[in-house]
Amino acid sequence: MIEIDKNGYFITGSDTDAGKTYIACEVIRQLRESGIEVEVRKPVESGCQKDERGNLVAADAMLLRQANGDSQAMAIIAAYRFRAALAPHRAARLEGIQIFLHNLIEACEIKRTDNRLIVEGAGGFYSPMAEDALNADLASALQLPVIIVVNDRIGAVNQALMTIAAVESRHLPIAAVIMNQVGESQDNDMDNLTDLSQYCDYPLFQCLHQKPLVKIFRQENKVI
């Protein structure tokens, strides 16, 4: 189990489309069920669609908001939203905007220091996130424990170990590694969780077909 951190978590992926948002929502849900106040951030999201009023809708940030009981304004959760489905800094350029690391750090500031901050990155840990920053740079600036989400498919052990090494190189604590079965089908002979456990001492979990994640947190020696 994971000890509940006093500050929160930075949720990153081993790659894009690993299911970070689903896992982030599960983390938020479990923390809320334990009575812990949470603030959520998806500081930058690209690939947004326009609604009937012409406003950009950040789908991932909307799911985070719902998971947190609709308790925060979208403008706070997702400060930077762009239409093009590109790396955020390139999507921003198409709209005549430049975003920098300091902008993302400011977007992640919280009002109450006793709240846990849950930040979902954009893409993988080394994916570009701003003109001068990777996801890794924002994680380093926030100094939050990292939850790594891995698409549980062929090659997942390699992807997991590379991401673990990348996070360790930034001297950030790793709270957990979660194998997330995004697809419905999987080879029955494949067992990435067991294979990864031979090379990884961090808490490991598996989410089957993006169904509710098993309880992952421990508080006061009780699993919640």
**How far apart, in whole angstroms, are the C-alpha atoms of residue 59 and residue 48?**
7
149-168 exposure pattern, b = at least 16 Cβ within 10 A, e = fewer: bbbbbeebbebbbebbebbe
Q: What are the phi and psi torsion angles at 161 (to 5°)?
A: -65, -35
- Asked if 130 and 104 touch (Cβ cutoff 8 Å), the reply is yes
Q: Which two tokens stand for residue 173?
A: 């604590």
Of 6, 20, 42, 215, which residue is the catalytic one?
42
- Asked if 191 and 163 touch (Cβ cutoff 8 Å), the reply is no
- Asked if 89 and 99 touch (Cβ cutoff 8 Å), the reply is yes
The question of whether 42 is a catalytic residue gets the answer yes
**How far apart, in whole angstroms, are the C-alpha atoms of residue 8 and residue 209?**
25
Q: Which two tokens stand for residue 91?
A: 């999507």
Q: What are the phi and psi torsion angles at 149 (to 5°)?
A: -105, 125
Q: Which residues are catalytic?
A: 42
